[in-house]
């Protein structure tokens, strides 16, 4: 990044992407709304402009109005943020913030971006791509979170806060119908069970569609060369599925549909003015289609075994596949979170205890071809976790605020990964079976002190000490031969490791006026060492990746002008990213094996610009732009040429868009007896690499997503029409190269209408 460009942006800032429109309300008058966040773990929320860190706050109104269905959609509103799924296994997160993130679906590897729901850190990443219904807010904390938030994290945090009952009696029911035979019901009811003592809320979401992807018979089939005529001689190597080049016949139509139920009961107990206990529970049951790969043949691709041995050249249209086994995904999970707040004379003591239990079952079609050359059949995963965090916020007079606390997490995983492979030109199946268990414990103590020199100047210093222990027992991923039980006699290999880390944080803040805030900060974050559960040898298992660290310097400015009609936030950062944990697929390995290593170190620089403008009461414009320049300073164990790079350190970070941009305009006006709100938004990413080796044929081309909605609020009734990805732009979560080229993920055009009815509100 050019120094002049960085200098032009000067200072960094906490980002605001909140309430770009308000569902069921007229446009705000007198200026932009005030936004409250909990990014610094204060007992009471803070105004976003007072928080000296980079935070995007997206409130429940914008989530509802823009029909944002998951944190993936929310991430597109935050600069330098990519909250993408892995694409292969539905619901598995590959979140990245400022270039620090995951790019794999290996269950044993921690994410460098924490997902925190109502104070509970979600350890197991399968099922961590959460729906966003009935949320009060989503906060995206960019940069290392080594002191204040949950488990130590090298990349950042995504913090979801559910709506709490207020004690007032009200409710709502919303019905949505859309393309792909989509139907959705969102409902919530709350009220007071014991006046001023016990309030309760229950929210329910049911969502179903037939699938937005289309299974077809498209593609070119030719007879495999040198294939003898039938009957095939004994011992001959030949593709008996495709002797004549006639292809494979199978069912066609919509695939990868969803059928989801989420129930979220919440109870707030207030036995006295000093004590509040909140119990947040959730049950989710997903019965979805599988994560189907879509075989493709890019214009710059080269002939692969899919063409040489199977005679198949895919020719799909937008979001189309040609597969026999369409797979399934079943996720059943529940959690309970208890939050106790005790307001004492010297401060507030907060304790959060949580338990989460998850079962994930799936059949995944990996190769994306009609011959089922690689399928992960009937994989079963079970995970549970228990966590406890306790912290005390206090003060000494008007000058000193302090925070001290402790954190503990114990997580267990029990996974069985099965594979069925047809890697030669026969129909014989080779089976693979790799079960494993892992027990992880993370313990930490932390403290932070704010000292107010004057009304304008404040300094903060904090530190966190973390210990991580992991125990794994695994049966390596090797061939079981021609029977599924061929590996049953193989021995499990145990191993264990412990790591520790001390992460500091220092901040200097200057507020010349109430509306302006300058800050400079230094913070560190760390990701614990990790085992690779997709290994084929004992040596690889017993060589886990050591912890990675991220040391970041950030300068920031936040300002509100024109009587709070213009909000401008800027951010500039420089990070030293060391002992980087990277995964890569071993080329031509059978079965497909992933490596996990400490690849080296990098320097990450960038800036973020965010603005909200209310030129008139009826019109609001929001803009967010972020640029990230990530450069490897050292990259070990990699030889090039790689893609179009001659030197390994010239490789671009995989799954990192060098910039992200979004803009939204909302027009609200009174029509008749109601209020009409029209919202149009556009998000854009440039071309970027989807694989570690920067394979040119696997790059994601530049794409943009156009969304729009029109809502009419007529008292208790609300009517909406919406569309997302209206141009039906083609994009993927990941591209891979196995027997051929595969595309995973993406989101086709969706549209629909909604009708809502509120009860008990003015």
What CATH number is given to the structural domain containing 541? 2.40.170.20
pLDDT at residue 27 is higher than 60: no
What per-residue confidence (pLDDT) applies to 32?
87
**Model confidence pLDDT, tens digit, residues 705-762:** 999 999 999 989 999 999 999 999 999 998 988 889 999 999 999 999 999 999 986 5
Query: What is the rounded distance in angstroms from the CA atom of residue 294 to the CA atom of residue 323?
Result: 8
Taking residues 611-619, report their average pLDDT: 94
Q: How many domains is the chain built from?
A: 1
475-489: average pLDDT: 89
pLDDT at 525: 95
User: CB of 154 within 8 A of CB of 112?
Assistant: yes
Give residue-wise pLDDT tens across range 567-583: 999 999 999 999 999 88
Q: Is the peptide bond before 671 cis (omega within 30 degrees of 0)?
A: no
pLDDT classification of 59: cutoffs 50, 70, 90: confident
- The rounded radius of gyration (Å) of the Cα atoms in the chain is 26
Measured in residues, the chain has a length of 762
Give the per-residue pLDDT at 104.
Answer: 85
> What would the pLDDT profile of 356-406 be if each residue is shown by its tens digit?
999 999 999 999 999 888 999 999 999 999 999 999 999 999 999 999 999
Kindly indicate the confidence band of residue 79, based on its pLDDT and cuts at 50, 70 and 90: very high
CB 451 within 8 A of CB 496: no
The predicted structure's pLDDT at residue 347: 93
255-275 pLDDT, tens digit per residue, is: 999 999 999 999 999 999 999
Q: What integer pLDDT is reported at residue 501 of this predicted model?
A: 96
Residue 100 has pLDDT above 80, yes or no: yes
- pLDDT bin (cut points 50, 70, 90) of residue 44 is confident
Q: What is the mean pLDDT of the chain?
A: 89
User: In Å, how far are 644, 680, 722 from 725, measured between CA atoms?
Assistant: 31, 11, 10
Residue 66 or residue 350, greater confidence: 350
Which structural domain, as residue segments, surrounds residue 603? 3-759
pLDDT digits (tens, 9 = 90+) for 211-255: 999 999 999 888 775 554 555 445 444 554 554 566 788 999 999
Cα 571 to Cα 156: distance, rounded to the nearest angstrom: 15
Nearest one of 545, 418, 421, 414 to 474, comparing CA atoms: 414
Counting beta carbons within 10 angstroms of the beta carbon of residue 677, is it exposed (0 to 12), middle (13 to 18) or buried (19 or more)? Answer: buried
Instruction: Kindly indicate the confidence band of residue 47, based on its pLDDT and cuts at 50, 70 and 90.
Output: confident
DSSP string, 492-517: PEEEEEEEEEEEEEEEEEEEEETTEE
pLDDT digits (tens, 9 = 90+) for 631-673: 999 998 888 888 889 899 999 999 999 999 999 999 999 999 9
The per-residue pLDDT for range 542-572, each reduced to its tens digit, is 999 999 999 999 999 999 999 999 999 999 9
Mean local confidence (pLDDT), 190-200: 96
Q: For residue 726, what pLDDT is reported?
A: 97
**Pseudo-torsion of CA 490, 436, 544, 689, nearest 10°?**
110
- For residue 589, the model assigns a pLDDT of 55
Q: What is the mean pLDDT of residues 398-424?
A: 92
* Paired residues of 85 in beta bridges: 93
**Nearest by Cα to 271 from 340, 337, 354, 189:** 340
Q: Which residue has the higher pLDDT, 642 or 98?
A: 98
| pLDDT interval class at 128 (50, 70, 90) | confident
Average pLDDT over residues 482-498: 92
Backbone angles phi, psi at 695, to 5 degrees: -60, 125
Greatest Cα pair distance in the chain = 92
């Amino acid at each position: 990044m050019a120094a002049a460009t960085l200098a032009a942006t000067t200072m960094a800032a906490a980002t605001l992407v909140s309430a770009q429109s308000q569902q069921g309300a007229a446009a705000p008058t007198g200026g932009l709304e005030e936004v409250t966040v909990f990014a610094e773990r204060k007992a009471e929320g803070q105004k976003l402009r007072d928080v000296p860190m980079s935070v995007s706050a997206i409130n429940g109104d914008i989530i509802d109005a823009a029909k944002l269905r998951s944190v993936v959609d929310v991430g597109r509103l935050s600069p330098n943020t990519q909250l993408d799924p892995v694409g292969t296994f539905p619901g598995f997160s590959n979140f990245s913030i400022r270039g620090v993130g995951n790019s794999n679906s290996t269950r044993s590897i921690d994410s460098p971006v924490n997902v925190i729901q109502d104070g509970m850190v979600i350890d197991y990443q399968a099922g961590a791509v959460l729906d966003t219904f009935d949320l009060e807010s989503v906060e995206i904390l960019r940069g290392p979170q080594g002191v204040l938030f949950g488990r130590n994290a090298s990349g950042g945090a995504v913090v979801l806060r559910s709506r709490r009952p207020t004690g007032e009696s009200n409710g709502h029911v919303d019905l949505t119908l859309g393309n792909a035979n989509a139907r959705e019901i969102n409902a919530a009811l709350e009220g007071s069970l014991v006046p001023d003592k016990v309030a309760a809320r229950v929210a329910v979401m049911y969502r179903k569609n037939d699938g937005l992807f289309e299974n077809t018979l498209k593609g070119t089939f030719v007879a495999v060369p040198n294939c003898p005529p039938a009957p095939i001689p004994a011992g001959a190597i030949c593709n008996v599925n495709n002797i004549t080049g006639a292809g494979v016949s199978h069912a066609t139509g919509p695939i990868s549909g969803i059928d989801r139920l989420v129930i979220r009961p919440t109870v707030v107990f207030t036995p006295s003015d000093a004590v509040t206990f909140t119990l947040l529970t959730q049950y989710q049951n997903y019965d979805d289609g599988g994560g189907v790969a879509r075989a493709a043949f890019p214009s710059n691709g080269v002939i692969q075994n899919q063409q040489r041995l199977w005679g198949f050249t895919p020719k799909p249209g937008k979001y189309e596949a040609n597969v026999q086994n369409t797979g399934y995904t079943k996720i059943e999970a529940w959690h309970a979170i208890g939050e106790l707040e005790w307001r004492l004379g010297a401060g507030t003591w907060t304790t959060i205890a949580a338990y989460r239990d998850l079962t994930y079952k799936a059949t995944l079609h990996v190769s994306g071809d009609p011959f089922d050359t690689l399928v992960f059949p009937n994989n079963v995963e079970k995970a549970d976790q228990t966590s406890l965090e306790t912290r005390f916020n206090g003060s000494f007079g008007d000058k000193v605020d302090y925070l001290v606390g402790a954190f503990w997490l114990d997580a267990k995983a029990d996974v069985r990964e099965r594979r069925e492979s047809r890697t030669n030109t026969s129909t014989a199946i080779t089976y693979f079976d790799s079960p494993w268990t892992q027990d992880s414990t993370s313990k930490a103590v932390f403290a932070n002190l704010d000292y107010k020199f004057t009304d304008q100047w404040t300094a903060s210093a904090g530190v966190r000490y973390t210990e991580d222990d992991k125990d794994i027992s695994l049966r390596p991923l090797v061939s079981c031969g021609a029977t599924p039980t061929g590996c049953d006699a193989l021995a499990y290999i145990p191993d264990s490791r412990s790591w520790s880390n001390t992460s500091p944080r220092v901040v200097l803040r200057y507020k010349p006026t109430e509306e302006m805030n300058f800050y400079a900060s230094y913070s560190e974050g760390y990701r614990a060492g990790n085992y690779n559960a997709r290994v084929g040898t004992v040596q690889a298992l017993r060589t886990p990746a050591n912890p990675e660290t991220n040391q970041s310097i950030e300068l920031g400015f936040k300002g509100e002008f024109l009587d709070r009609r213009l909000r401008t936030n800027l951010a500039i950062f420089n990070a030293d990213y060391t002992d980087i944990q990277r995964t890569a697929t071993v080329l031509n390995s059978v079965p497909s094996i992933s490596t996990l290593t400490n690849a080296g170190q990098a320097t990450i620089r960038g800036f973020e610009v965010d603005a909200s403008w209310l030129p008139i009461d009826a019109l609001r414009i929001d803009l967010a732009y972020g640029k990230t320049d990530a450069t490897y300073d050292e990259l070990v164990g990699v030889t090039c040429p790689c893609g179009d790079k001659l030197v390994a350190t010239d490789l671009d970070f995989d799954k990192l868009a060098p910039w992200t941009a979004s803009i939204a305009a909302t027009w609200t006006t009174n029509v008749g007896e109601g209020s009409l709100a029209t919202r149009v938004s556009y998000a854009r990413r440039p071309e970027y690499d989807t694989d570690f080796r920067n394979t040119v044929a696997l790059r994601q081309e530049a794409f943009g997503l156009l969304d729009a909605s029109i809502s009419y609020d007529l008292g208790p009734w609300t009517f909406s029409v919406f569309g997302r990805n209206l141009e039906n732009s083609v994009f993927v979560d990941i591209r891979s190269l196995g027997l051929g080229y595969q595309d995973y993920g993406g989101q086709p055009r969706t549209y629909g209408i909604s009708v809502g009815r509120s009860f008990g509100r003015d």
